[in-house]
Structures are given as C-alpha cells and as structure tokens.
Structure 1
C-alpha cells in the first residue's frame, strides 16, 4: 500500500520533469511526510479546444466520489486496489475517465519485527533520487452545503492505485502491496483522455510495474516519520539498524 510519501519538489521542477503546465498562482507545500487528506500535486491531461493539455493540479489525497454525501469518504480512499478498482463504487467512474499520475520522491513503508511487536519504517526511493509517478485517479465532488459560486464548492481529490508485491526480492519482505509506478511512456498512455479502455491501460501498466519497482532502494529511517507532525528532510536520512 502507500500511506505516507515525500513530495518536496517546487512547481517549476514538476512542470519541467512532467512536461506539463501549471497556473502561475499554483502553490505547493514541500512535505517529507505526506499523509492522507493532505493537498498533493497530480498530473492529468484534458482536451481544451480540441488540443491535449497536460496540467498539474492540487488535489486532496483520498478520493471522494461524486455521489458522496460528504468529503469524509476520502479518508478511507487514499489507495485503490488494481484488482477491484473497476468494480468498486468509490472508484469505478473515475477509473473509466479520470486517470492521473501522482508524482512522489519516494514513499514510506513499515516492516514488522520478527517478534511482531514493533515496526521499522523504510524509505523506498529510486537510487538517483529521480521522481516516481504512480498511477492514480481523480474526481470532482460538489459540496452540497456550499452555495453556487462559492470558491470552495468543488473539491478535487485523488487516489493511488496499488498492486501485489513481487513474489521475491527485498520489496516482498516489506509489504504485500505496493503502488503502481509508471515510466514516461506509461504515463502518457495512462493519461491519454482519448483512451477509453481503462482495463487495457491498467493491464499494460501492471505488466511493467514489477520491473520498474525492482530498481528501488529501501533505507531504514527514524521512527519519527510515524508522527505526521514531524516534517523535514531528516526523515529520509538512512539510519543504521
């Protein structure tokens, strides 16, 4: 699964790395301890006057479907299982038509000790610190308690797709789930608003996912990351066990 991650890149860096555009007023808060319900950057593509535009937006992490009575639904919907995403009421509409990428610099996962009494956090990242983009979904939700025209009437939210861990290797010892990574070509296919067969897109992403994840490194880090109030670059510094 993916319940905490790092995103401390500036807007300009994301625009360049993702070959996207962003509004001049867009602001991102650097975070080394992103938790569900936080505002996070996502990348998506839209058709505007017949032309495809790749854009960066800020969304609440935890998908709120259009039919929800309140935004609290998103608290439990920060991950979507790839095996069931097409059928689950919370995700199926977004899966068909509102796919996005969620850029991260790495994510945290906790590994149980042999006696099962404690958990050691690890920071999972690329060897060179390159950006990782996870397959995600986004959704717009209209707050029924707000009047038409209210700036806060519409909420943009997102979720990250997950898959089963590989049968062997270091990642397999960490957790039985991991987020679905996309390379540059895979991201372009996933975001394409003209692509209608979401199932085929997901299958293609999953076919390559274990190979991409095999290059990731796992560093043990301080237990301080377990408290969302702790937030700084020291959280990703490797420690000696």
Structure 2
C-alpha cells in the first residue's frame, strides 16, 4: 500500500479526524499500521473518515493486544458466529485499501515462489474489513488508558463457481482462500453504519468477487519479499518464476 494520504482522501471522498501519516509499504506485515476507511454517525449525519489501524483485530474484551496477530483475517462464512468478530460485523465495518497482495507457491522442501496479485491498469484494491477499538490497561502496550484501533479483512474461498478458467484458476494453485474485494456499490453499502443486516452485506460482497477480480494479474516476484526487513518498490517487479 503505497498511496499518499491525499490520494486516499480524494479516492474515497473521506475526511481526516486528525492529522495522520500513512507510510508507504511494499511489504506489510501483521501488526503493521494500515489505512482504513470507515463511516461514523456524527451529529445526525454520516461522515466518511480515513484512519490508520493496526493490522490484526484486537477485540474490546481482549486482555492482551498480542491476540491481534492471530486475527489478521476473518472467514466470511463464519464471521457472524465468531466471538472476536460478531459485534464488529454488525456496526464496525471498514474498507481496507491496498495496491496488491502476496501469495506463495510451495516447491520442493523449503523452497517457495512468491507471487504479487494486483489489478490491471494501475488500479487499487479495496478489501472488506472490520475494525475495533481497544483500551489498554496501565501495563499494556500503548500505555495507560490509550485507545488502539485495529482491523482485519474478510476472506472467501476460491475459486467462485464457474470461474476456474479465470485468474482464480491460478489463485487456487496458490491458496484456497482469497481476500474479499469490493466494487464501489458494494463498498457504499458495506460502510453504511445504518445498515444492520450483516448477513445480507456479506452475501452482497461475496457475490461480486468474480467481477471485481476479473482483471487481476498474478506476477511471480523475487524471494526478497519473504523478509519483512526488505521494503521497496523493487519487491513487486516481475521476475521469472523459480519453478
């Protein structure tokens, strides 16, 4: 995710509640800060805002924020049932912008080939996400009484029915799950805090995956992305696959 704050505000027609920085990253890792777009009811009106959240949702009831490192994703099929997500799915939904994401193909032994999945024509991605606020006790990360904003994005199975010959055929070779992307209309409904039929929203977003991902590309990239200390645009440059 390497877009500037001003570009994100313009793209999503969002506001800032306070000044923030969104550092560009070509190798986002769990617990890293990521931008999210959400809508809140303020003075009787709906306001769309850009925030920065920690990747890995920390439920409000958690005793330790480190639990978030195991909650970077939420399965769309069971998100309404899981204790960590079932409150957020009803009223704390967000959009998580990204330029692309990585998957790995397992080779012989420990060998893995990374792939960069991204839309064509330089467009960005928007994943369906959830967010939570967590208030830390005096000895927790963040200091006494500090609020932490965290997020997870939803995933779905791949490939959708009838799409085996599209990009999903390639994605299925890499992983049986895919982050749940949204088109513009689905995102508008997903963000609306006054819509409380969470099951219908999940179905809406899932039904559009095939169309949203129609022009996705899957490029083989170099192994340097496997080390989180590496971070730069060279990580997404296509290379010949090792296998």
TM-score (norm 2): 0.91
Structure 1 position 91, deviation (Å):
0.9
- Change in 2 beyond 3 A, CA 1:151/1:46: farther
Comparing 98-107 with 165-174, which one deviates more in the overlay?
A: 165-174
How far the C-alpha of 1:30 sits from its partner, in A, is: 0.6
For the residue of structure 1 that corresponds to 2:27, the secondary structure is strand
Match of 2:147 among 143, 154, 160: 154
Tell me how far apart the structure 2 counterparts of residues 30 and 152 of structure 1 sit (CA, whole Å).
29
Q: Is the 8 A contact 2:137 2:145 kept in 1?
A: no
Aligned 8 A contact 1:102 1:133 in 2? yes
Q: Judge conservation of contact 1:64–1:141 (CA < 8 Å) in 2.
A: yes
5 Å-filtered alignment, 1:110-125, equals 110-113=104-107, 115=108, 117-125=110-118
Q: Determine the C-alpha separation between the residues in 1 that align with 2:45 and 2:144.
A: 27
Instruction: Look up the match of 1:4.
Output: none
Cα deviation for residue 116 of structure 1 reads: 5.7
Runs of 4+ residues deviating >4 angstroms: none
Aligned partner of 1:69 in structure 2 is 63
Kindly tell me the number of residue pairs found equivalent between the two proteins: 232
* Alpha carbons 2:16, 2:50 under 8 Å: kept: yes
> Equivalent residue for 2:101?
107
Question: Following TM superposition, by how much is the alpha carbon of 1:24 offset from its aligned partner in structure 2, in angstroms?
Answer: 5.7
1:106-134 CA deviation, whole Å, 9 max, x = no partner?
00010123x46421100000111211100
Task: Provide the C-alpha distance between the structure 1 equivalents of 2:187 and 2:152, rounded to a whole number of angstroms.
Answer: 16
| Distance in 1 (alpha carbons) for counterparts of 2:173 and 2:233 | 26
Aligned to 1:226: 226
Find out whether 1:52 has 2:38 as its counterpart: no
Which whole-Å CA distance do the structure 1 matches of 2:33 and 2:207 have between them?
30
Aligned with 1:34: secondary structure? coil
**How far does residue 211 in structure 1 lie from its aligned partner after superposition?**
2.3
Mapped partners of 1:50, 1:140: distance in 2: 21
User: Matches of 1:185 and 1:131 in 2, distance apart?
Assistant: 16
Alignment partner of 2:239: what SS?
coil
CA-atom RMSD, angstroms? 1.6
Structure 1 residue ranges without an equivalent (≥5):
1-6
Distance in 2 (CA, whole Å) between partners of 1:43 and 1:54 is: 7
Q: Which residue of 2 aligns with 1:14?
A: 8
